Structure 1
């Protein structure tokens, strides 16, 4: 393993968490999300990772019309940035801990099949879409994220047919193990692209030893990035680069620039740029990111 010399910075703009009420900087409307994408790109992000929200409530949404508006608004500005759309929405299941089948599913659930998580990807054909590679006890309580092997095989096959590059989201070592199985079955094309997601209860902890262990499990010639949530976001920029990976920052994963100081997406990208260059690496441009990840070139 060696330091990454040309670092792709991804900015995860808004996510699906209950963060809107916690920071005024979390973008909600398509216009706000697109503006944040442009600002992040101007600050040095080569990739923007996009969720959408209900413009009225701020709640997470799977509405393809909202994704279309965000992408169109970004493209109208002429900003060169790699588009990464989430395809993880539709996996939430909330159960009664004492009577799991009572009133099944409970409010807060949004559970659909693997292919039903892809309509916006089929319509918009982004550079990248995510594929969450396993189920998870998502935080405390009784909220599960459901992504079964059958769902994943169906989703991976469809993404491959569309010619979109899947970013394989691995929240624990078993997810990485199964992603390698998808590769063995021919459901992923080279180069495979991994995102190692650390610190989300109760997946892989934000521990440098755990990250190094997961990196050693990666397939040969794969591309990878990693992030950690909350106050570990910026330390993880350094951890990832020193182990040979790329990085992700943004308000999906962390709301603060420092103790008591609410961040914007652009500020988090600027801090990641500073850290990257301080380590002795350089920040990749969008076209360099496309080369590294094996993506289509942007239209002239």
Structure 2
């Protein structure tokens, strides 16, 4: 089973969580420690020097280089970025969207995988609303850019409707014989509209609705992700953990990426599986190691 660590995310600040890694050296050190205990992939966001979300390809290249200098791991760079002011483009009437040119630029960071959020949804943060605007035309543009860069897309799925229309239609344009990589994102409805809350029936339905050959993972926001992640493993999926998704425990105490990966390893083993190696992860996802 692939265990992906998502160490940083695009929203949480050091003021809110004392150990969220936001700078390149810190991210690389955290990822390397997590690989030592069982992670085989890293879903990365980058931040500016003052910890604001970014999709700057130079920052991605810097982080990717530092990670690869420390450890061998499959790298996944986010094209979603975050809702910090530097990533916002004005829409008028006081509203803004996550900058599309900046999202496209994330493709050039040199990762094996780049996320593709084929959804249009509002993010509500601290009373402000920011649009993630990804109509099909933009999703096709991003998909083509990812392919041209020699990377693979990871389709971020927020709700069942995406699996009945959006993702199948887009996949039809890029059928290359390889199974699509899908991450089912649950319990982020407190931030994003069009996102859904986990239930056993819902996750079973979403897995049943996946394209037949898809290799899927599940990520779960909030303080109590483990039942949903256990179900993901039972259903034959892979799992993502990290401070991006569940930075605090049930009592509100901050958790570290290392602790979360260690707990994920215990979960996988308790369910009769073992963590995938990095080489096995590349085989499952049909990706090749990139050296730059």
Asked if these proteins are the same fold (TM beyond 0.5), I'd say yes
Shift in CA distance, 94/207, structure 1 to aligned 2, threshold 3 Å: farther
Of 237-246 and 171-180, deviating more is 171-180
Question: Would the alpha carbon gap of residues 15 and 90 (structure 1) be closer, same or farther in structure 2, given more than 3 Å must change?
Answer: closer
Return closer, same or farther for 1:190/1:68 CA change in 2, 3 Å cut-off: same
Contact in 2 for aligned 1:93/1:145 (Cα 8 Å): no
Could you tell me how far apart the structure 1 residues matched to 2:63 and 2:110 are? 14
Match of 1:296 among 285, 288, 291: 288
**Deviation at 1:188?**
6.1
Counterpart residue number, 2:121: 136
C-alpha displacement at 1:112, in angstroms? 2.0
Please name the residue that 1:194 is paired with. 182
Evaluate the alpha carbon distance shift between residue 42 and residue 249 of structure 1 in structure 2; reply closer, same or farther with a 3 A threshold: same
Asked if the contact 1:130–1:167 (Cα under 8 Å) also holds between the matched residues in 2, the reply is yes
Could you tell me whether the CA contact under 8 Å between 2:111 and 2:290 is conserved in 1?
no
In 1: Cα distance, 2:133 partner to 2:203 partner: 23
Q: Give the corresponding residue for 1:150.
A: 137
**1:103 to partner: Cα distance:** 4.3
Give CA-to-partner distance per residue, 1:215-266, whole Å, 9 cap, x none: 1110111100011111232222201101110000000011124524321101
**Do the aligned partners of 2:79 and 2:116 also contact (CA within 8 Å) in 1?**
yes
CA deviation after TM superposition for structure 1 residue 189, in Å: 5.2
Matches within 5 A, 1:221-260: 221-260=213-252
- 2:247–2:255 CA contact under 8 A, matched in 1: yes
Q: Which runs of 5+ in 1 are unaligned?
A: 1-6
In the other structure, the counterpart of 1:50 is 44
Q: Deviations over 1:35-75 (max 9, x none)?
A: 111111112100001001112x2111122222121111112
1:14 aligns with 2:14: no
Distance across 2 between alignment mates of 1:214 and 1:93: 31
Equivalenced residues, count = 281
Q: Render the CA deviation track for 1:81-112: whole Å, top value 9, x for unaligned.
A: 111111112787698xxxx842454xxx4322
Equivalent runs, 1:1-300 vs 2, <5 Å? 7-55=1-49, 57-77=50-70, 79-89=71-81, 101-103=92-94, 105=96, 109-113=97-101, 116-122=102-108, 124-139=109-124, 141=127, 142-176=129-163, 177-186=165-174, 190-201=178-189, 202=193, 203-297=195-289
Provide the aligned C-alpha RMSD in A: 2.2
Q: Normalization by structure 1: what TM-score?
A: 0.86
CA distance in structure 2 between the partners assigned to 1:129 and 1:174 by the alignment: 22
- Structure 2 Cα separation of the partners of residues 150 and 58 of structure 1: 31
Indicate conservation of the 8 Å contact 1:191/1:223, yes or no: yes
